[in-house]
């Protein structure tokens, strides 16, 4: 395999490019998984992070290249076969990831829920239509809750309890949404 190292003149303390949440997602997944292809990253994200951080998975094909150019990832290209490209963290990549992890976000959870926006404008709906909206949301969140509970039941933590902690939050949020929408369905707010 051919290997590109950190590259000359790279400052381990400061990345040469602006890093986005997707940058840290890529660095974190590779940090946890070890050397990975973009396809490996896509599969791993689809089974984990995508439940609480949805994003276009196409970025997992372009971002590793950008991070390699910045010296945060190294790449190895298979000499034969499909010539797959494996990416791994460099020292600078690990430092950037650790620095980001030690910097607490200064924003709170941002809710962008279309059904809640529809609820806000529900004065234009009949009570029956509002109940139908609520019942549809209950069904959606019960399905998501079942997925989360299945993950919790079938995947052993095996020393990955911290990685499984967001799942507990997902379960609590899904249960809260079911409860909220059930209240709306059972006792819709009066219209004008």
Tokens of residue 45, six digits = 């994200």
Give, to the nearest 10 degrees, the angle between helix 38-46 and helix 21-33: 100
Q: How high is the pLDDT of residue 131? A: 97
Q: How high is the pLDDT of residue 161? A: 82
Q: How high is the pLDDT of residue 52? A: 87
Question: Does 14 score more than 80 pLDDT?
Answer: no
Question: Does 5 score more than 70 pLDDT?
Answer: no
3-state secondary structure (DSSP) of residue 36: strand
Q: How high is the pLDDT of residue 164? A: 86
Q: Is 79 exposed, middle or buried (0-12, 13-18, 19+ CB in 10 A)?
A: exposed
Average pLDDT, the chain: 89
In angstroms, the CA 4 to CA 64 distance is 13
In angstroms, the CA 15 to CA 104 distance is 19
Strand arrangement, sheet containing 2-3: 2-3, 73-77, 85-89
In angstroms, the CA 80 to CA 153 distance is 41
Question: Does 140 score more than 90 pLDDT?
Answer: yes
Q: Give the percent of the chain with pLDDT over 90.
A: 68
Band of pLDDT at residue 191, cut at 50, 70 and 90: confident
- The residue among 81 and 175 whose pLDDT is bigger is 175
Where are the extended beta strands (E) located within 68-126?
73-77, 85-89
Average pLDDT (100-120) is 92
Band of pLDDT at residue 15, cut at 50, 70 and 90: low
Tokens of residue 36, six digits = 């990975």
Do residues 35 and 106 make contact, with C-beta atoms less than 8 angstroms apart?
Answer: no
């Amino acid at each position: 395999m051919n290997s590109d190292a950190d590259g000359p003149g790279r400052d381990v303390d400061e990345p040469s490019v602006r890093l986005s949440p997707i940058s840290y997602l890529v660095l974190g997944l590779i940090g946890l998984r070890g050397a990975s292809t973009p396809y490996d990253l896509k599969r791993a994200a689809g089974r984990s992070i995508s439940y609480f951080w949805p994003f276009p998975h196409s970025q997992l094909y372009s971002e590793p290249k950008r991070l390699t150019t910045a010296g945060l990832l190294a790449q190895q290209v298979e000499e034969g076969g499909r010539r797959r490209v494996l990416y791994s963290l460099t020292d600078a990549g690990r430092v950037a990831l650790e620095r980001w992890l030690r910097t607490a976000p200064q924003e709170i959870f941002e809710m962008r829920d279309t059904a809640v926006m529809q609820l806000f404008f529900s004065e234009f709906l009949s009570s029956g239509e509002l109940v139908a909206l609520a019942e549809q949301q209950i069904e959606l969140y019960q399905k998501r809750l079942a997925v989360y509970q299945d993950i919790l039941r079938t995947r052993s933590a095996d020393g990955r309890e911290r990685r499984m902690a967001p799942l507990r939050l997902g379960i609590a949020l899904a249960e809260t949404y079911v409860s909220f929408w059930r209240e709306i369905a059972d006792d819709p707010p009066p219209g004008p």
